Amino acid sequence: MAATHRDLRELIHRGSFREDLYYRLNVISIAIPPLRDRKREIVPLAETLLRRHLPAGTAAPAITAGLKRALLDYGWPGNVRELENVMRRFLVYQNASMLIQELTQPPPLAKGLANSFASGTANGGTANGGTTNGNGGGNGAANPAPVISIDSLAEASRRAENKLLLEALEATRWNRRQAALRLSIDYKAFLYKLHKHGIVETKNGDPKDVDSKHPDSKAPDTTHPDSKPKDSTPKGGDVNA
């Protein structure tokens, strides 16, 4: 199975794609419209992708009416893969307003891509960045959306990830392997996140590294000959008192 978003016949005409390879691959062709042309599928797909990446035993954040409108109005230049990544970010943010902000006021590069694919923006007077199109019927400026900086988004993402890590650890009584499975992430990646967030287990109010709770952790073997303190007495002579 092979997939592409380019017109291979046009590429053959330009000499950019081998004609013999085209006929070798082209047994049955299935044309799938882009996500922006399948509006009725966007919300059901979003709900399915959200459940796919939802950690076991946790409740999915609600896709509000405002978020549904934002999902339907967005141009989706990255198609289903982009929608999947957006839903994964939603699990981290746990905040529909933050996701709406991203979809309605994307960064400059993403904004250019989204606007180039969005339908009806040329004559529709749709809101973008808090103002309406000047040709959209003279309604003037819309209510400006609250400005959310990249730093505040990063901080909110950090706090949400920290919260998810702690909840998984507490639900598994600080068993890190089970917590990693609960979050559906690799164990080494989970350990890295604990280190990044400085998460340690406390006992009797005293900080204690979480590694000490893991069954693989062992106390130093004092019976091993290498673990005994070395004799500092010089060879070949006595030490005077």
pLDDT at 57: 81
The average pLDDT across 183-206 equals: 79
| CA separation for the pair 54, 48 (Å, rounded) | 10
Overall average pLDDT of the 100-110 stretch: 75
Contacts of 137 by beta carbon, 8 Å cutoff, 6+ apart: 125
Q: CA-to-CA distance for 221 and 145, rounded, in angstroms?
A: 62
Share of the chain above pLDDT 70, in %: 64
Number of other residues whose CB lies within 10 A of the CB of residue 76: 23
Q: What is the pLDDT of residues 126-178, one digit of tens each?
A: 334 444 444 444 444 445 545 556 677 777 888 888 888 998 898 898 999 99
Q: pLDDT tens digit string along 77-87?
A: 888 999 999 99
Instruction: Look at 223 and 55; give whichever has higher pLDDT.
Output: 55
- pTM here is 0.44
Bridge partner list, 128: 131
pLDDT of residue 73: 93
- What domains, with CATH codes, occur in the chain? 1-31 (no CATH), 39-117 (no CATH), 150-213 (1.10.10.60)
Backbone angles phi and psi of 213, in degrees to 5: -90, -15
Q: What share of the chain is helix, strand, coil (3-state, %, to 5)?
A: 50, 5, 45
Q: Give the mean model confidence (pLDDT) for residues 167-195.
A: 89
pLDDT exceeds 70 at position 229: no
The pLDDT of residue 124 = 42
Helix H segments across 53-107?
65-73, 79-93, 96-104
Q: How confident is the model at residue 70 (pLDDT cuts 50, 70, 90)?
A: very high
